[in-house]
């Protein structure tokens, strides 16, 4: 259970080590205050990943026609940023019903998919999305998405579509970060995608830098 030693829910969730169920309980408890807390702590990852996608697709596709999957959608911070730029054809996927309830109330997604990633099963048709966005997905404590979920996400992305992964640059030095880089390299070696850009942004979260991998699916 949550240790209750701090009122800061981010620190509480981040301190839960390697237990998926506890982390999910933490998100359920936090759901209605998540965005306020994350915004106050200076979380800019959602805005940054949407801006990167817009840089690539904005000039070649009409935003409202771009089919986007936001993974994990949480309360819909990415969805709100998508809507601001006219990307109104987005779906959100997350394992947590309480987080998704908040996302639903914002009306920024066409479809919400409640499912746990990393089980090898994804209730989505192959070749569906022009862009799949992952931010706040891979955490140092390893209690979130397993990197193997990228195998499934490649399948639901259209050939030529984008998968963009954003994470704290420091996270890339952790076991989870190294596994993420390995997985992207593995997918590249198997010619399932190519990493077309690796770029950093300051102020990803608090004063931490973020690293974004922009990948094109083959
Ligand atoms: C830090 S939040 C990020 C949400 C959103 N991307 C954002 O940036 O605000 C992490 C989310 O990952 C979800 N999550 C963790 N493990 C998951 C899994 N295996 N499958 C699907 N969602 C998962 C949690 O339920 C939570 O909503």
Tokens describing residue 130: 């022009």
**Of ligand 1's atoms, which has the minimum distance to the CA of residue 139?**
1
Residues 144 and 180: beta-carbon distance below 8 Å: no
**In CATH, what is the architecture of 45-217?**
3-Layer(aba) Sandwich (3.40)
Ligand 1 contact via 49 beta carbon (within 6 Å): no
Residues 138 and 204: beta-carbon distance below 8 Å: no
Give the integer Cα–Cα distance in Å for 164 and 197. Answer: 10
Look at strands 129-135 and 68-71 and give their pairing: parallel
Ligand 1 contact via 44 beta carbon (within 6 Å): no
Mean pLDDT of the chain: 92
**Of ligand 1's atoms, which has the minimum distance to the CA of residue 24?**
25
Give the integer Cα–Cα distance in Å for 96 and 144. Answer: 11
Distance (Å) of CA 178 to CA 118, 150, 169: 17, 14, 11
Ligand 1 contact via 135 beta carbon (within 6 Å): yes
Higher pLDDT, 140 or 97: 97
Q: What is the pLDDT of residues 192-214, one digit of tens each?
A: 999 999 999 999 999 999 999 99
Whether the predicted pLDDT of 24 surpasses 50:
yes
Q: Which of 16, 33, 74, 114 to mutate to test the pocket of ligand 1 (most atoms within 8 A of CB)?
A: 74
**Please, which pLDDT band fits residue 6 given cuts at 50, 70 and 90?**
very low
- Domain chopping of the chain, boundaries: 9-40, 45-217
CA 207–ligand 1 middle distance (angstroms): 21
CA 64–ligand 1 middle distance (angstroms): 25
Predicted local distance difference test score (pLDDT) of residue 7: 54
Q: What is the pTM of this model?
A: 0.95
State CA 59 to chain mean position distance.
23
Give the integer Cα–Cα distance in Å for 13 and 7. Answer: 11
Predicted local distance difference test score (pLDDT) of residue 107: 98
C-beta contacts of 114-118 below 8 A and 24+ residues apart: 117/71, 117/72, 117/93, 117/145, 117/146, 117/149, 117/152, 117/153, 118/145, 118/146, 118/148, 118/149
CA 162–ligand 1 middle distance (angstroms): 20
Ligand 1 contact via 74 beta carbon (within 6 Å): yes
Ligand 1 contact via 43 beta carbon (within 6 Å): no
Ligand 1 contact via 9 beta carbon (within 6 Å): no
Q: What is the pLDDT of residues 79-137, one digit of tens each?
A: 999 999 999 999 999 999 999 999 999 999 999 999 999 998 899 999 999 999 999 99
Ligand 1 contact via 132 beta carbon (within 6 Å): no
């Amino acid at each position: 259970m949550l240790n209750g030693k701090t009122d800061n829910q981010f620190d509480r969730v981040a301190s839960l080590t390697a237990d998926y169920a506890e982390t999910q309980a933490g998100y359920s408890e936090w759901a209605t205050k998540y965005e306020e807390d994350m915004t106050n702590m200076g979380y800019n990852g959602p805005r940054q990943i949407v801006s990167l996608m817009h840089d690539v697709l904005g000039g070649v596709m009409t935003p409202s026609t771009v089919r986007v999957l936001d993974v994990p959608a949480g309360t819909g911070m990415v969805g709100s940023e998508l809507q601001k730029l006219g990307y109104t054809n987005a779906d959100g996927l997350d394992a947590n019903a309480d987080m998704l309830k908040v996302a639903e109330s914002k009306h920024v997604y066409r479809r919400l998919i409640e499912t746990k990633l990393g089980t090898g099963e994804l209730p989505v048709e192959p070749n569906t999305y022009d862009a799949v966005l992952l931010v706040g997905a891979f955490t140092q404590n390893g209690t979130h998405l397993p990197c193997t979920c990228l195998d499934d996400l490649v399948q639901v992305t259209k050939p030529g579509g984008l998968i963009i992964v954003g994470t704290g640059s420091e996270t890339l030095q952790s076991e989870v970060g190294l596994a993420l880089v390995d997985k992207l390299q593995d997918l590249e070696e198997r010619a399932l995608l190519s990493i077309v850009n690796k770029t950093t942004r300051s102020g990803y979260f608090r004063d931490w830098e973020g690293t974004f991998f922009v990948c094109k699916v083959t």
